[in-house]
Amino acid sequence: MRNYSIALIPGDGIGVDVIREGKKVIDTVCELDGGVSIQYQKFNWSCEYYLKHGTMMPEDGLEILKNFDSIYLGAVGYPGVPDHISLWGLLLPIRRQFQQYINIRPVKLLRGIQSPLANRGVEDLDFIVIRENNEGEYSSIGGRMYEGTNMDMAIQNSVFTKHGVERVLRYAFELANKQGKRKQLTAATKSNGINHTMPFWDEYVCKINKEYPEVSTDIVHIDALCAYFVTRPDTFDVVVASNLFGDILTDLGAAIVGGLGIAPSANINPEKKFPSMFEPVHGSAPDIAGKGIANPTAAIWCASMMLEHLGETKLARAIMVVLEDVLAEGAVVTPDLGGKATTEEFGDEVCKRLKERYK
Ligand code: NAI
Ligand code: MG
């Protein structure tokens, strides 16, 4: 038996619904395989937890999570608790403490999903964005002074380190070299306007490129890059970006391949010294929470990425094949994709198809 331990953090709102379906799909595929056993432990760390305890997770939360193979998270955030509390109280500490410095966000149009870009199909939209996940623009360095006076001011410093930049670039080059269809890497920059950190970033792109001479590299300003995502998405292979640029780019990336109900993300510690965390890009969607209509596609795709990371490539692929079959047929899809199915009905359909196809 191959054994894995997974920490489940469903979180708030629709996070709870979509993780339930994702877990169901994992259980189904593992049962069909027969050689995998997964021990889950569920944690109710969330905004509800915060309202009761005054913290998003217990003091030894990270200590507890450290021993798991993976973390499978829904979403946190709910009206009544400020978003910076849910983010800085749970998600960011996990990403940082566990050195999940790679954020993988595939921009891939699944079969059956209509892109809002005219005349674009699955062959046009298939690339990967690697976002730096530990430093850059999202640093807590800075402060506020003279609040409430006419001299009111705020400073937030960006942090770009040799260590941080080299490791994310090396990961992206490696990916482009090994898995890229065209061995092509696009690095997002803004070295015209941001004249210290971005030329630093560009310099390391050129330096690491020397280790990967087979990879052809483009350094593109972030504003132009946004436009190219829309006008020529078919030209990308692997895109690498700093924390903020990657964050913004990938919402655009999600939009061109069908929206937030679809987009998955993986927070990876490549060395596997710490657990990696898998979570949909979407949030807790208070507007549809409790209605049972959230699309669990992103969460199920995340489940596939998690199995892939654990080394269960065959199971990961099986999930994607069936997920795309169900979407392509379109008979059982959620309202965001124009269907009438509930979250649960969609999850059940994926499990049913898995059993039919792989029994
Ligand atoms: P959101 O992603 O929760 O919702 C944006 C829109 O997309 C809503 O109209 C929602 O109904 C729709 N949507 C999202 N996921 C969907 C799904 N699976 N199926 C169908 N429709 C879906 O973003 P919003 O509204 O900006 O944030 C809500 C809360 O979630 C906030 O508290 C925010 O801080 C938090 N959040 C948490 C994240 C996380 O835990 N990783 C990420 C983003 C937001
Ligand atoms: Mg974002």
Dump pLDDT digits (tens) for 204-226: 999 999 999 999 999 999 999 99
Question: Contact at 8 Å (CB) between 301 and 271?
Answer: no
Say whether both 204 and 135 belong to one domain: yes
- Given 213, 229, 257, the domain boundary residue is 257
Integer-rounded Cα radius of gyration of the chain: 20
Query: What is residue 181's predicted lDDT score, i.e. its pLDDT?
Result: 83
Task: Say how many Å lie between the CA of residue 283 and the centre of ligand 1.
Answer: 3
Q: With b meaning 16 or more CB within 10 Å and e meaning fewer, what string describes 152-186? A: eeeeeebebeeebbebbbebbbbbbbeebeebbbb
Query: What is residue 196's predicted lDDT score, i.e. its pLDDT?
Result: 97
Q: What is the pTM of this model?
A: 0.94
Task: Say how many Å lie between the CA of residue 248 and the centre of ligand 1.
Answer: 15
Say whether both 248 and 315 belong to one domain: no
Q: Is 105 part of a structural domain of the chain?
A: no
Q: Is 109 part of a structural domain of the chain?
A: no
Say whether both 5 and 93 belong to one domain: yes
Residue 353, phi then psi, degrees to nearest 5: -65, -35
Confidence of residue 313 (pLDDT cuts 50, 70, 90): very high
Task: Say how many Å lie between the CA of residue 282 and the centre of ligand 1.
Answer: 4
Please check the confidence at residue 45 and state whether its pLDDT lies above 80: yes
Q: Is 107 part of a structural domain of the chain?
A: no
Please check the confidence at residue 148 and state whether its pLDDT lies above 90: yes
Average pLDDT over residues 55-83: 96
Q: With b meaning 16 or more CB within 10 Å and e meaning fewer, what string describes 217-239? A: bbbbebeebbeebeeebeebbbb
Say whether both 243 and 128 belong to one domain: yes
Confidence of residue 36 (pLDDT cuts 50, 70, 90): very high
What is the span of the domain harbouring residue 37? 1-100+262-359
Alpha carbon distance 265, 334 (integer Å): 20
Average pLDDT over residues 144-152: 97
- Given 257, 275, 301, the domain boundary residue is 257
Q: Which amino acid is at 13?
A: G
Task: Say how many Å lie between the CA of residue 148 and the centre of ligand 2.
Answer: 30
Alpha carbon distance 278, 268 (integer Å): 8
Q: Is 239 part of a structural domain of the chain?
A: yes
Query: What is residue 139's predicted lDDT score, i.e. its pLDDT?
Result: 87
Say whether both 240 and 147 belong to one domain: yes
For residue 202, which of 165, 228, 230 has the smallest C-alpha distance? 165
Query: What is residue 155's predicted lDDT score, i.e. its pLDDT?
Result: 97
Q: Is 14 part of a structural domain of the chain?
A: yes
Alpha carbon distance 34, 29 (integer Å): 9
Query: What is residue 115's predicted lDDT score, i.e. its pLDDT?
Result: 95
Say whether both 193 and 286 belong to one domain: no
- Among protein residues, the one with the nearest Cα to ligand 1's atom 6 is 285
Question: Length of the chain, please?
Answer: 359
Instruction: Provide the number of structural domains found in the chain.
Output: 2
Check residues 108 and 181 and name the one with the higher pLDDT: 108
Share of the chain above pLDDT 90, in %: 96
Instruction: Find the angle CA(298)-CA(179)-CA(5) to the nearest 5 degrees.
Output: 50
Confidence of residue 126 (pLDDT cuts 50, 70, 90): very high
Q: Is 167 part of a structural domain of the chain?
A: yes
- Among protein residues, the one with the nearest Cα to ligand 1's atom 26 is 283
Query: What is residue 239's predicted lDDT score, i.e. its pLDDT?
Result: 98
What CATH number does residue 146 fall under? 3.40.718.10
Query: What is residue 140's predicted lDDT score, i.e. its pLDDT?
Result: 84
Confidence of residue 179 (pLDDT cuts 50, 70, 90): confident
Confidence of residue 311 (pLDDT cuts 50, 70, 90): very high
User: Measured from the CB, is residue 287 less than 6 Å from ligand 1?
Assistant: yes
Say whether both 244 and 268 belong to one domain: no
Please check the confidence at residue 180 and state whether its pLDDT lies above 80: no
Q: Which amino acid is at 170?
A: R
User: Measured from the CB, is residue 295 less than 6 Å from ligand 1?
Assistant: yes
Query: What is residue 359's predicted lDDT score, i.e. its pLDDT?
Result: 81
Average pLDDT over residues 282-295: 95
Please check the confidence at residue 292 and state whether its pLDDT lies above 90: yes
Alpha carbon distance 302, 339 (integer Å): 22
User: Measured from the CB, is residue 316 less than 6 Å from ligand 1?
Assistant: no
| Burial (CB count within 10 angstroms: exposed 0-12, middle 13-18, buried 19+), residue 264 | buried
* Residue whose entry in the numeric block shows the structure tokens 């109280």: 89
Q: Which amino acid is at 159?
A: V
Give, in order, the Cα–Cα distances in Å from 335 to each of 187, 279, 314, 338, 342.
Answer: 36, 21, 30, 5, 8
Q: Is 110 part of a structural domain of the chain?
A: no
- Given 229, 257, 285, the domain boundary residue is 257
Average pLDDT over residues 286-298: 96
User: Measured from the CB, is residue 284 less than 6 Å from ligand 1?
Assistant: yes
Confidence of residue 48 (pLDDT cuts 50, 70, 90): very high
Task: Say how many Å lie between the CA of residue 19 and the centre of ligand 1.
Answer: 14
Helices (H) and strands (E) in the chain, counts: 12, 12
Say whether both 205 and 332 belong to one domain: no
Average of per-residue pLDDT values in the chain: 96
Average pLDDT over residues 82-101: 94
- Among protein residues, the one with the nearest Cα to ligand 1's atom 40 is 75
Q: Is 108 part of a structural domain of the chain?
A: no
